[in-house]
Amino acid sequence: MADDSTGGSSWADARESGAVSLPHHAASSSHLRRSEMIAGYLFLLPNFLGFLVFSLLPIVAAFALTLTDWNLVKAPQFVALDNYRQMLNDQLFWQTAWNSVYYTIGAVPIGIFIAFCLSLILNRKMRGIIFFRTVYFLPQVTLTVAIAIVWAWIYNPQVGLINYLLSLIGISGPNWLGSTTWAMPAIIIMGNWKGIGGAMLIFLAGLQGIPEEYHEAAKIDGANAIDRIRFITVPLISPVTFFVLVTSLIGAMQGFDQFYVMTNGGPAFATTTIVMYIYLNGFSYFRMGYAATLAATLFLAIFVFTIVQWRVARSWVYGFEG
């Protein structure tokens, strides 16, 4: 026993002193892991630098700009929280915020429902299905400005297509884009027509990922088409629905180009969104500090709302509790 103890101690001392080394393959494996880790960080470095330069630093600079008064000509002047106090007392800010919420509530649920229904129709094997999928998706890849110009003509109260069709059945159509009542619903219709194609394509991809055996088993058990959609399709594509919901809400809250082209925010600021109000303050009124404050507020609102959606959706989408 004494000899064994002495021998073990001598081997440990020799290993610490370097007289005994690890096997060659173990040292090579450790060196390979280190090299792979360094290579991985080097591959990530360009993306990290891009994020740092084009995302993180501008965000930090924008939040710093909210504490200043800057007209793009003179040097920024530090005003602490004055811009935030002004925003809370700005009635036009609250109106534009409500306009953005109005557009989001009006456009997103209806758009998602129609996109889901279209995906069910187009998830079939029939002649010409690729053509119909392309037709429905084309507005998604068309410039919003071009679509807005066309729809502005469609809504024209004198020569527009909609009022002409209404006149054929004895109805006098309203001044769509010139009415504080009808302007926002008109833009919601146009926005859904343009954006439904993208959501439809995502839903279609989700539907094609559902194994056909589930539907066949449900048919054997006597489930009709409505039951199969309700108890098989809808639960299995809930992650897809959640993704479409989140991205659609974020996109709707950032609506700008269709409002700028079709109504320029009018009439009487009825279609001025929060993003358009940011643009006006920054590049028309030259109040860049106040515009940055509005932008920071919108960013925080969207961020918090997205986190809330994730927390709420954890149970019904992914089955997590809490």
pLDDT at 318: 64
CB burial of residue 154 (10 Å; 0-12, 13-18, 19+): middle
Task: Evaluate whether 176 touches 183 at the Cβ level (below 8 Å).
Answer: yes
Residue 76: HSE in the Cβ half-sphere, 13 Å Cα cutoff:
15
pLDDT at 33: 84
Query: What DSSP character marks residue 178?
Result: G
Task: Evaluate whether 150 touches 140 at the Cβ level (below 8 Å).
Answer: no
Going by C-beta distance under 8 Å and a sequence separation of 6 or more, which residues neighbour residue 284?
Answer: none
Amino acid letter, residue 227: D
pLDDT at 11: 44
pLDDT at 23: 55
C-alpha closest to that of 242 among 150, 164, 311 = 311
Which mean pLDDT values do the consecutive 10-residue runs of the chain (322 residues) have?
A: 48 50 62 85 91 90 94 92 96 96 95 94 85 89 93 94 94 93 96 93 92 90 90 91 92 94 94 96 94 95 90 69 53
CB-CB neighbours of 322 under 10 Å: 5
Residues facing residue 68 across a β-bridge: 78
pLDDT at 174: 93
pTM: 0.83
Report strand pairing: 68-69 vs 77-78: antiparallel
Tokens linked to 317:
């989408």
pLDDT at 252: 94
Residues facing residue 69 across a β-bridge: 77
Distance (Å, whole) CA 253 – CA 251: 6
Distance (Å, whole) CA 124 – CA 247: 26
Chain centroid, CA 224 distance in Å: 35
Tokens linked to 148:
């807005």
Tokens linked to 289:
């500090």
Tokens linked to 218:
């449900």
Backbone angles phi, psi at 68, to 5 degrees: -130, 165
Distance (Å, whole) CA 156 – CA 122: 33
